[in-house]
């Protein structure tokens, strides 16, 4: 961890700007020990008062210890303050209420953060809170059966931002996308593409309502037709053999069951009629969709360390290996020809089928093998970002992890709730162009990548997000991303007018930074590393977004109230150093959130 050099002025000791709270905690603990040995082991919690007039940090240790020491809490607080070791870190300490102690950090300690930021540059804010713990972070993982839509965009923005924040906090993060390239959904996409191909080839074959509907399916069918001609054409009679008819007068549940039976029959016919060409269409559709998703995410500033294939679990024997461990440990049983997992023994509400009586694996079986592989590849903590419809799936996966001998407490699921788009205060109707949803690409085209990335993380992931398209496109202070970027650009305009060498700022004397707005900016800069650490530990990148908005607000107030290019060279350099540090932190934070930091607006 980096240390400051000596401060140019009255403040002449080494200070860890990244760890002021820890230093203050040590001072309080030393004071408690001086007052009473019994108080030395108390838990000391420092909180930021909502009102800045109440200090920079507040502590209730005297109120905690009062009963144990049989002393009046306010008198005990006074004794603790009197016993505080001499330190330039503390400007003053005051007793409030029944025994709270409010601490005001010395202005010299606050001023030192400017030098810390300028010296650390892009690395300011990084901490070692994660201690190198290896994290597997899986997010988005949409079936490769169509374009990414706005809900996937939220998962992408959240996951990428969380990964960046956790890496800055000292975790080693593996960003992973699980490609569901095996199973029924890909079979439906393959059959859908073939049916569209048949229609393009002139066959009057009906297209099921539960097949994939988007224009992208038509485009893939055209590519197959262009490359292979009539090679995959079959008669309508052959295609529809043994395909059950729909009974429109049936109830909705029965109609849904009939639609599923109908698409399954079409898939079976396609596999039988096409033979190896079914896999050819499957491979083409998979490649087109994965390539499109990868490009879409890259354009959105989201990249992965690993795209993990579900099919590889079968090909590499990992599925059989994972199930073999469960069987050998006695965690399975057979009933009516099916293989069951004893999930209830590990907290799930009921046992789960792993392999059906027809020999086909359920969706759950490869999910077990996939999560086992994450731990086998070195993950110490596994974090999955799932959609709201998967909430009930958590207990069964956690049960499987426990059955495999892993710690289920180190399996974390974060739920990403739905997104609703609004224009002119009204919900946006779903697009039919892309198959009954608004694509991420459409959203990015309309509001821009920066606004999309930032607006997506303005709420906790488990809260529904109302996305205001008009606000996201506006160039006003009401638009939070514009407000923050404008603060960054305003600072650039000051330095453009100055025209001096920024290297001079590292040695600027900072003792002139004493007014209220400067003290507020300094304290906010000091808070940044803790904001990053807490955002990582709480899986809450939205906290960083709100921090940046606050920092930008303080900068705008300072900009509007003070002059920077003043005649007094010492004051000028001090203020320029301060806003240079603010600009650096704004840029660092925006980078973690995947948002640009423009020099001009």
SS (H, E, C) 509-563: CCCCCCCHHHHHHHHHHHHHHHHHHHHHHCCCCHHHHHHHHHHHHHHHHHHHHCC
Interatomic CA distance for residues 520 and 550, integer angstroms: 11
Are 444 and 473 a contacting pair, CB within 8 Å? Answer: no
Query: For residue 29, how far is the Cα from the chain centroid?
Result: 36
% of residues, the chain, pLDDT over 90: 87
Are 573 and 542 in contact by the 8 Å Cβ rule? The answer is no
Highest average pLDDT, of 69-83, 428-442, 481-495, comes from 481-495
Contact 101, 90 (CB under 8 A): no
What pLDDT shows up at residue 1? 29
**With contact defined as beta carbons under 8 Å apart, do 545 and 451 qualify?**
no
- For 300-329, write each residue's pLDDT tens digit: 999 999 999 999 999 999 999 999 999 999
pLDDT of residue 9: 36
pLDDT band at 11 (very low <50, low <70, confident <90, very high): very low
- Average pLDDT on 436-458 reads 94
Does the pLDDT value for residue 2 go beyond 60? no
Residue 261: which H helix or E strand, with range?
helix 252-274
Residue with tokens 């002449």: 12
DSSP of 268-316: HHHHHHHTHHHHHHHHHHHHHHHHHHHHHHHHTT---SEEEEHHHHHHT
**CA-to-CA dists, residue 456 to 241, 416, 459, 487, angstroms:** 47, 11, 7, 21
Stretch 461-475: mean pLDDT: 96
- State residue 566 phi and psi, 5-degree precision: -90, 170
172-186, 433-447, 496-510: which has the minimum mean pLDDT? 433-447
Q: Residue 19 has what pLDDT?
A: 72
User: What pLDDT is attached to residue 525?
Assistant: 96
Q: Which domains does the chain have, with CATH numbers?
A: 17-105 (3.30.1360.70), 184-290 (no CATH), 477-592 (1.10.730.10)
pLDDT given at position 245: 85
Predicted pLDDT at 429: 76
Of residues 331 and 6, more confidence is placed in: 331
Which tokens go with 488?
Answer: 């960054």
Residue-averaged pLDDT of the chain = 93
Whole-number percent of the chain with pLDDT over 70: 96
- Are the C-beta atoms of 25 and 19 separated by less than 8 Å? no
pLDDT value at 10 more than 60: no
Long-range CB pairs of 234-241 (<8 Å, 24+ gap) are: 234/198, 234/203, 234/273, 234/274, 235/203, 236/198, 236/203, 236/204, 236/205, 238/269, 238/273, 239/195, 239/198, 239/203, 239/205, 239/266, 239/269, 239/270, 239/273, 240/205, 240/206, 240/269, 241/269
Contacts of 67 (CB under 8 A, 6+ apart): none
- Residue-wise pLDDT tens digits, 90-119: 999 999 999 999 999 999 999 999 999 999
**57 token code pair:** 């940090």
Distance CA 235, CA 454 (A): 52
pLDDT-based confidence at residue 341 (cuts at 50, 70, 90): very high
pLDDT band at 430 (very low <50, low <70, confident <90, very high): low
Q: How confident is the model at residue 436 (pLDDT cuts 50, 70, 90)?
A: low
Contact 375, 127 (CB under 8 A): no
* Integer Cα distance of 153 and 433 in angstroms: 18
Tell me the C-alpha distance between 533 and 536, whole Å. Answer: 5
pLDDT confidence band for 435 (50 / 70 / 90): low
| Integer-rounded Cα radius of gyration of the chain | 30
pLDDT band of residue 530 (cuts 50, 70, 90) is: very high
pLDDT tens for each residue of 231-262: 999 999 999 999 998 777 778 788 888 899 99
Residue whose structure tokens are 């806003």 = 579
What average pLDDT does range 425-431 have in this prediction? 79
By the 8 A CB rule, do 334 and 340 touch?
A: yes
- Whether 236 and 273 have beta carbons less than 8 Å apart is answered as no
Does residue 27 have a pLDDT over 90? yes
Sign of CA dihedral 209, 210, 215, 218: negative
Residue 179 banded pLDDT, cuts 50, 70, 90: very high
Question: What tokens appear for 198 in the block?
Answer: 């048949």
């Amino acid at each position: 961890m980096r240390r400051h050099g000596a401060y140019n002025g009255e403040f002449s000791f080494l200070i860890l700007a990244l760890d002021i709270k820890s230093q203050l905690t040590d001072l309080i603990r030393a004071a408690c020990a001086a007052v009473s040995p019994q108080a030395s082991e108390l838990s000391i919690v420092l909180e930021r008062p909502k009102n800045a007039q109440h200090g920079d940090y507040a502590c209730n240790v005297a109120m905690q210890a009062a009963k144990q020491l049989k002393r009046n809490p306010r008198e005990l607080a006074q004794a603790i303050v009197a016993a505080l070791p001499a330190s330039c870190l503390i400007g003053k300490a005051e007793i409030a209420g029944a025994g709270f102690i409010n601490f005001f950090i010395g202005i010299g300690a606050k001023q030192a953060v400017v030098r810390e930021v300028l010296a650390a540059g892009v690395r300011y804010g990084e901490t070692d809170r994660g201690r190198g713990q290896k994290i597997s972070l899986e997010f988005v993982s949409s079936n490769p059966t169509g374009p990414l839509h706005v809900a996937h965009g939220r998962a992408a923005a959240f996951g990428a931002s969380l990964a960046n924040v956790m890496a800055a906090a000292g975790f080693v993060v593996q960003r992973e996308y699980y490609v569901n390239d095996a199973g029924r959904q890909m079979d439906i996409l393959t059959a859908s593409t073939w049916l569209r191909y048949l229609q393009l080839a002139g066959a009057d074959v009906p297209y099921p309502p539960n097949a994939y509907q988007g224009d992208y399916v038509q485009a893939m069918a055209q590519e197959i037709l262009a490359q292979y001609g009539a090679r995959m054409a079959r008669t309508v009679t052959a295609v529809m053999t043994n395909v059950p008819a729909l009974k429109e007068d049936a109830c909705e549940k029965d109609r849904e069951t009939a639609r599923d039976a109908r698409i399954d029959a079409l898939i079976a016919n396609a596999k039988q009629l096409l033979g190896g060409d079914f896999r050819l269409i499957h491979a083409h559709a998979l490649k087109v969709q994965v390539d499109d998703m990868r490009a879409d995410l890259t354009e959105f500033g989201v990249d992965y360390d690993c795209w993990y294939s579900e099919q590889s679990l079968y090909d590499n024997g990992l599925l059989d290996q994972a199930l073999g461990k469960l069987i050998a440990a006695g965690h399975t049983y057979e009933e009516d020809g099916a293989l069951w997992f004893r999930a209830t023994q590990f907290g799930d509400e009921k046992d789960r089928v792993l392999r059906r009586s027809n020999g086909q694996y359920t969706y759950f079986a490869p999910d077990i093998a996939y999560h086992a592989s994450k731990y086998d590849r070195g993950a110490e903590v596994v974090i999955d970002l799932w959609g709201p419809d998967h909430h009930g799936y958590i207990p069964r996966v956690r049960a499987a992890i426990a059955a495999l001998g892993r710690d289920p407490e180190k399996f974390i699921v974060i739920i990403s709730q739905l997104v609703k788009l609004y224009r002119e205060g009204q919900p946006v109707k779903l697009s039919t162009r892309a198959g009954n949803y608004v694509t991420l690409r459409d959203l990015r085209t309309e509001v821009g990548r920066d606004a999309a990335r930032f607006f997506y993380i303005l709420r906790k992931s488990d809260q529904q997000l109302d996305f205001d398209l008009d606000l996201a496109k506006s160039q006003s202070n009401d638009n939070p991303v514009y407000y923050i970027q404008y603060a960054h650009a305003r600072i650039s305009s000051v330095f453009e007018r100055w025209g001096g060498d920024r290297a001079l700022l590292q040695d600027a004397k900072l003792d002139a930074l004493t007014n209220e707005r400067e003290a507020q900016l300094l304290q906010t800069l000091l808070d940044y590393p803790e904001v990053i650490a807490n955002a990582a530990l709480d899986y809450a990148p939205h906290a960083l977004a709100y921090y940046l908005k606050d920092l930008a607000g303080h900068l705008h107030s300072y900009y509007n109230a003070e002059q920077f290019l003043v005649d007094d060279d010492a004051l000028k350099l001090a203020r320029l150093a301060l806003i240079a540090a603010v600009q650096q932190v704004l840029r660092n934070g925006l980078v973690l959130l995947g948002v640009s930091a423009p020099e001009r607006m």
